[in-house]
Amino acid sequence: MLLIIIVAGLLTFYYLLGRPLNYWKNRGVKQGKPWILFGDSLGIILRKMSIAEAVTSVYDLIPPNTRYYGIYQFMKPKLVVRDPDLIRRITVKDFDHFVDHVAMADPKADPLFAKNLLGLKGEEWRKMRSTLTGSFTSSKMKIMFNLVTEAAEDFVNYFEKQQKNNKILDIEMKDAFTRFTIDVIASTSFGVKVDSLNEPDNEFFKMGKEISQLSFKTVLKMLLFQASPKIYRFFNLSTFRKEVYEFFGNLINETITTREAKGIHRPDMLQILMEAKKGIDKEEPNTNMNTDIGFTATTEYIPKAEALKITNEDIIAQAVIFFFAGFDSVSSLMTFTAYELAVNQQVQDKLRQEILATNQVTFEVIANMPYMDMVISEALRKWPPFVVVGRECTKTYIIKPKLVSEAELIVPKGMAIQIPTYAIHHDPKYYPEPEQFIPERFSAENRNKLTPYTFLGFGQGPRSCIGSRFALLELKIVFFCLLKRLRLVVNEKTQVPVKLKRGMGINIRPEDGLWLGLEKLN
């Protein structure tokens, strides 16, 4: 009798836990092979898969002609959209149904994190986006160009000085580029001069690294908030330590006070936001964001909204998100780009020829280097910093059937949507020989052959990355300065092919860092 009770109890337990994992199946939507409690995340939780491998494994399980399918983040269902036309509808055409990102933080526990551009929703987001768009026009990029170039020159000078007897210098590139991006963000966003290579343990670097490189614990807290906000609030959790917010808050408040009191003007992001706060910046935003940085920049769709009245807290929140969104993702993309140049010497040589054909690095030179743009585009295709792009359905949406196997699908308000960027970028249907590094895919004559909405490195539509042009500027300047004086080569420590770090995370990273050699040019 006891055995029967135990078996009945286990079956009931299994039924109650397994039932949520039939959500998509009950609606006629294909799904993978989710695990009870863990959904499609078990491989990541057990650190047997990288996030890219986990996303791609489900993508590959689904029949190729499937336009969308279901996954489970733990027990919570999410809809994955992989058809290019559906991606266009969700990100652009029917954007009013998918205005928001899925919340990652509680506005009460993390006011600064929730108030930044990624966390804001609805009309508040529209106003802030409209206000900030003017900060990334061509003229503003030119203002910050010299600051980025100065940091890049310091970066190359440091490693040149480390070389002795013209020997190859072994460098862990992820750490090196992380320090470079910290210095750039400190200079262009906070107005602070930092030298993270010569001062490796500076406070700015430590705080920036904590807020940018999400720990396993931090990611779990974000996922818990998405799965059950009530439990998150019950335990009074917050994404980051209070000391981190206090550091950045005090830094910016003091800098603003000093600049206003002494009339200091510096060509950086903080100054631009200070002027926006005062309503000084009346410049019309540039609606064609592709013309001056390159093909890889996403077309900017400027939301129509009144400019938002900016407070110091808003400025702090945006500065924090520049760290969060641009620090680890950009340094990782730089690392993988360096890797591809080291293992593909013919590509590196061709890019160096383009660089040496110019006299000096200027904004106009960077804007008109076709092969540089092709190389960065292919690096962004093969190693997109964000494995998935997420949206939240803000108004009930109906996906009409297009294939015989489909039925009408009602997407309810609040449903999380994912676009599997990494998997699409590695789908041979769109990119033949996807594991090969082929910059010519993005040559002027080949771009028109690409399927629209299958190149998603910076997202698409109004919620695309507002800082994409700045990220491209960083990438192109640092590789211009680096390759003009040094050669990237593989060494004994280089992992070929490179493996991705397994476990929880948002961005892709090398498994154990990425070692390359730096060699002086003859």
Q: Which residues are annotated as a binding site for heme?
A: 465
In angstroms, the first-to-last Cα distance of the chain is 85
CA atoms within 13 A on the CB side of 65: 5
CA distance to 182, 319, 475, per residue, from 202 (Å): 11, 18, 24
Query: Binding site: residue ranges?
Result: 465
The token duo for 178 is 């992380």
**Single-letter residue type at 247:** F
The token duo for 373 is 């743009």
- 58 vs 40: CA distance, rounded Å: 8
- 459 vs 212: CA distance, rounded Å: 20
- 377 vs 463: CA distance, rounded Å: 20
Is-contact 421 387, C-beta < 8 A?
A: yes
Q: Locate tokens 């964000």: which residue? A: 386
Rounded to whole angstroms, the maximal C-alpha distance in the chain is: 88
- 189 vs 178: CA distance, rounded Å: 16
The token duo for 242 is 């209070």
- 398 vs 409: CA distance, rounded Å: 6
| Inter-helix orientation angle 370-382/312-343, to 10° | 100
